[in-house]
Amino acid sequence: MCGIAGYYGSKIINDSRIESCLRLMGRRGPDNNGYFHKKLTQDLNVQILHSRLKILDLDSRSNQPFLSSDSCLSFNGEIYNYLELREDLKKLGKIFNTNSDTEVLSTILEEFGVLGLDRCEGMWAFVWLKADKLILSRDRFGEKPLYIYEDESGIFFGSEPKFIFALLGFNLPINRNHLIRYLINGYKALYKNQDTFFVGLKELQPGMVMKVFNDGRKEVSKYWNPNFNQQKENMSFSEAVGLAREALIKSVGLRLRADVPIAFCLSGGIDSNALIAIAKKHFKYDVHGFTIMNTDSRYEERDMVEKSVSQLELRHSPVAIDQSNFIENLRDIIKYHDSPISTITYYAQWQLMSFIAAEGYKVSISGTAADELFSGYYDHHNFYIQALDGNPKEQEIARNNWKEIVASIVRNPYLQNPDCFILNKDLRDHIYLDAQFFSTFLVNPWSEKFTEQYYCPTILRNRMNNELFHESVPVILHEDDLNSMYFSIENRSPFLDRNLFDVCQKIPTKHLIRDGKAKAILREAVRGIAPDFILDNPRKVGFNVPIENYIDLKNPAVQAQIFKDSEIFSIVKKESIKQLIEKTHLPNSQSKFLFYFLNAKIFLEEFGGAESYEMV
């Protein structure tokens, strides 16, 4: 894991800006930094900056930017199957001088160009300079970020917005429309298009390559075109379980490759327990799990976690969340993230990563994307019932299972009717929860309808793919990356594996939910490895704490901070916030809105109107 940044164009970025950028990159890569500058033509320069977090091949020979005979690579991420690729390349006569995945990626690109990315399993964002062009690329699922800004002189790029701002010498203006989108429609609306929180700043999309040629031409193309319509309807449940088990075990094994110890994020749920159990029991890895201990009884998992720790014989560190100095800490997080954060969960995760780093770890593993691959959200039950339309017998069984198992544990009022997506197949109001109500809090009218991409005809499958590529996973990855990088930790997600994704796309929809339990395939895929009491629990817990647990909204000093003059009150009516705070109890959606409001307020205070970038 590393940080990358740079510029390709007619100017030369001065030394003070280069040094400022490298300082800012220190958290992403505290072990080494490097700088490459080359004049390509009379009117064209390239400047590439890199900061290194040593994970594989700790020797300085693997420092970056990595130079070969006629190319330069700056690479953030990991190529997990680098050992297999290395052997394949040796058979072609290639000679290696390091034990790193960086040299393997460089050699793959030298030998096959961007077509070689199809051979790579991993997470990455990289810039590769070769002959007459600069190539930028991002991994299939977007685990590693890569921002781009273009002006009349050329292209700026970086792992974080602040790196680009440092090279520019100023902040870009805030994208107020995107900020309002965040406030009203919530985090699931943030990755529907290429907008970011800054005007003109874009992210290179996952699975994409951008080629910039010395003659000024640009090409943006996909190197990965997944097949969303490969379900094998005659595949049996047991066959699906076997394929998923094999693919998941292989994925975990690849992500255990490191020359430093690995920490594991542990909850009382299936996802983290599946990964930890495979690492512990299949690969005999000495697992050290870290758990956020929730203070809200509705989401408490302590008993499940402690029982799992005992049964799997894990080393374990429970992490109690420090609830003091909430606004000050939130400000620090927002300043580093260059954006508001999506949910209060990631405030807690930030503290978790701090604890993991203090224990000496530089790599963590988490269960991101299991819900989206294997169908794990409560509303998936409703979509599943709709997907069985035309099969009345199976649909009635699914409806009865919902009533017996799911109904009592669903909290979202929009999902209380199990037939809601049969009665109205276009119903999506539960996703932008109470958006119409919150829009009345705005100074000026604003609304944006729910949209989703079409991937396949099955409504449940289409929903899952939208969550994977636009709604849930991109947000989680963004927060995972920045929270871990704040403490110089690389976070890995074994469920985001190309082979595992392909296996899941082949599984018939009818197998996704079974006997009223979501993630049926995943539950059975790790049966005999993960504890049965985890696999047999139908309840999805997660981490969710009301904002009132962190700050006393009735405290005059807190209210003074909230209502201090701010640009936010040109967007949100102050009176509406006062009415929220005066309530004795906030419903979940209103508690979330107040959290969004605080984030937006702080973000505007830190980034609004600034003319130059100050190091954080």
Whether the pLDDT of residue 428 is over 70: the answer is: no
Shared domain check, 323 and 195:
no
Domain count, the chain: 3
381 within domain boundaries: no
What is the DSSP code string of 223-235?
S----S----TT-
Residue 425: per-residue pLDDT: 59
Shared domain check, 39 and 133:
yes
Residue type present at position 132: D
Query: pLDDT tens-digit profile of 221-279?
Result: 999 999 999 999 999 999 999 999 999 999 999 999 999 999 999 999 999 999 999 99
**Helix %, strand %, coil % of the chain (to 5):** 45, 15, 40
Residue-range definition of the domain harbouring residue 360: 237-373+458-535
389 within domain boundaries: no
Whether the pLDDT of residue 445 is over 80: the answer is: yes
Shared domain check, 145 and 40:
yes
Q: Among 489, 511, 535, which residue terminates a domain?
A: 535
Whether the pLDDT of residue 615 is over 50: the answer is: no
Shared domain check, 179 and 30:
yes
Whether the pLDDT of residue 613 is over 60: the answer is: no
> Residue 41: helix, strand or coil by DSSP?
strand
Shared domain check, 175 and 106:
yes
Share of the chain above pLDDT 70, in %: 95
Shared domain check, 580 and 472:
no
How many angstroms separate the CA atoms of 127 and 282, rounded? 36
Query: pLDDT tens-digit profile of 353-386?
Result: 999 999 999 999 999 999 999 999 988 998 899 8
Shared domain check, 276 and 135:
no
Residue 272: per-residue pLDDT: 97
Mean pLDDT of 457-470: 95
Shared domain check, 139 and 33:
yes
How many angstroms separate the CA atoms of 262 and 264, rounded? 7
345 within domain boundaries: yes
Q: Among 514, 535, 556, which residue terminates a domain?
A: 535
Q: What is the 3-state secondary structure (H, E, C) of 234-301?
A: CCCHHHHHHHHHHHHHHHHHHHCCCCCCEEEECCCCHHHHHHHHHHHHHCCCCCEEEEEECCCHHHCC
How many angstroms separate the CA atoms of 80 and 105, rounded? 11
Shared domain check, 590 and 530:
no
Query: pLDDT tens-digit profile of 475-513?
Result: 999 999 999 999 999 999 999 999 999 999 999 999 999
396 within domain boundaries: no
Mean pLDDT of 169-182: 97
Beta carbons within 8 Å of 56's beta carbon, 6+ residues apart: 62, 78, 82, 99, 100, 101, 102, 257, 258, 259
501 within domain boundaries: yes
Kindly calculate the radius of gyration of the chain based on its CA atoms and give it in whole angstroms.
24
Shared domain check, 286 and 166:
no
Query: pLDDT tens-digit profile of 571-601?
Result: 999 999 999 999 888 888 899 999 999 999 9
Shared domain check, 552 and 531:
no
Shared domain check, 175 and 314:
no
414 within domain boundaries: no
421 within domain boundaries: no
Say which CATH number the domain at 247 has: 3.40.50.620
559 within domain boundaries: yes
Instruction: Name the band, by pLDDT with cuts 50, 70 and 90, for residue 199.
Output: very high
Residue 546: per-residue pLDDT: 80
Residue 299: per-residue pLDDT: 59
Could you tell me where the beta strands, DSSP code E, fall in 19-98?
Answer: 32-41, 44-52, 66-67, 71-79
Asked if 141 and 473 touch (Cβ cutoff 8 Å), the reply is yes
Look-up of token digits 């906030």: 586
Beta carbons within 8 Å of 562's beta carbon, 6+ residues apart: 553, 577, 581, 598, 601
Residue 298: per-residue pLDDT: 60
